[in-house]
Amino acid sequence: MSEDKSVSIVNLGKLSKPADTLIKKVSSAVGGLFEPWQITRVAKAEAEAGLIKAKAEIEITDLHRRAMHRFVEEEAQRQDNMEKITEQAIPLLDDKSNPDNIENDWITNFYDKSRIVSDAEMQTIWSSVLAGEANSPGTYSKRTVNFLGDLDKRDAEIFQSLCRLGWIIGGFTPLVFDPSDKIYNDIGINFGALTHLDSIGLIQFNSVTGFQRIKLPKEFVVTYCGRPLKLVMQKSSDNQISIGNVILTQIGRELANVVRAPGLDGFEDYVKEKWSAHIPKPDNTEQGSAGDA
């Protein structure tokens, strides 16, 4: 029987140093990740060994053969999932990243959770997490990786919609002032969706009093989709501003870094209306630099 010499991503041409380091690091931690033919060969060998042993005890039936076949096919699918996730992570590596600093336990846990993920969109999220950890080890906790392993596609889609509302106000902050407003409901963000995201641990949702950003200077700049907006407060210091009913948890903040969410048409103007008291009129705009919130 000839071995299946499937092409692995380790053979996809000349790799950058960070990519080469990542491949070696991952292969060392999980054992020959980039030799798909090898895992199939080993699985088949183990299956055959199991059959030989079983022959001495019981009669081999079609049921046993089907079970062995299923085992090999499942391992091959998991191998394919792991390789696709890693392959997609390679272009996201920074030139100065050092994947060798990733903890082996983190890598082992990462692939233990991600190997069953076959959905292409979810694989993209996993790839971004892997690349982010390689670029800056310690960015993603094991807790976040474990959470991602339990996150289904529908939950990811709701969270992605929420991230379309994200402004940079010190950190990434989705602004939800009134969950019943049409601009939110049109993208699937409503009371029920926010309650659900709260229940699974991605956000804190307070529909009664909401949240405030406090201890702000008189002037500061926030951004939406890279576009700056200068805000001017009443007092010279120790100001506060409403940031709506939602704040991200630690897990939510970490996952927001890898969710690819486009801006929402009309949302910038919607927020400007909410903050109109803090936006200087064009003819009263003061010259000079403003601090960041």
pLDDT tens digits, 190-206: 999 999 999 999 999 99
Give dist(CA 5, CA 169) in Å, integer: 52
Give the pLDDT of residue 5.
42
Indicate if the pLDDT at residue 262 is higher than 90.
Answer: yes
Give the pLDDT of residue 63.
75
What number of other Cβ atoms are within 10 A of residue 105's Cβ?
10
Least confident range from 29-33, 42-46, 254-258, 264-268: namely 42-46
Q: How confident is the model at residue 146 (pLDDT cuts 50, 70, 90)?
A: very high
Indicate if the pLDDT at residue 266 is higher than 60.
Answer: yes
Indicate if the pLDDT at residue 220 is higher than 70.
Answer: yes
Q: Which of 37-41, 44-48, 64-68, 264-268 has the highest mean pLDDT?
A: 264-268
Mean pLDDT of the chain: 84
Strands 171-174, 166-169: pairing is antiparallel
Residue-wise pLDDT tens digits, 147-197:
999 999 999 999 999 999 999 998 999 999 999 999 999 999 999 999 999
CA within 13 Å, CB half, 234: 5
Residue-wise pLDDT tens digits, 222-258:
999 999 999 999 999 999 999 999 999 999 999 999 9
The domain spans of the chain are 9-150, 165-292
Give the pLDDT of residue 172.
95
Residues sharing a CB contact under 8 Å with residue 214, sequence separation 6 or more, in sequence order: 238, 239, 240
Residue-wise pLDDT tens digits, 101-110:
999 999 999 9
Give the pLDDT of residue 1.
42
Q: How confident is the model at residue 282 (pLDDT cuts 50, 70, 90)?
A: confident
Residue-wise pLDDT tens digits, 56-84:
555 667 776 777 777 777 888 888 899 89
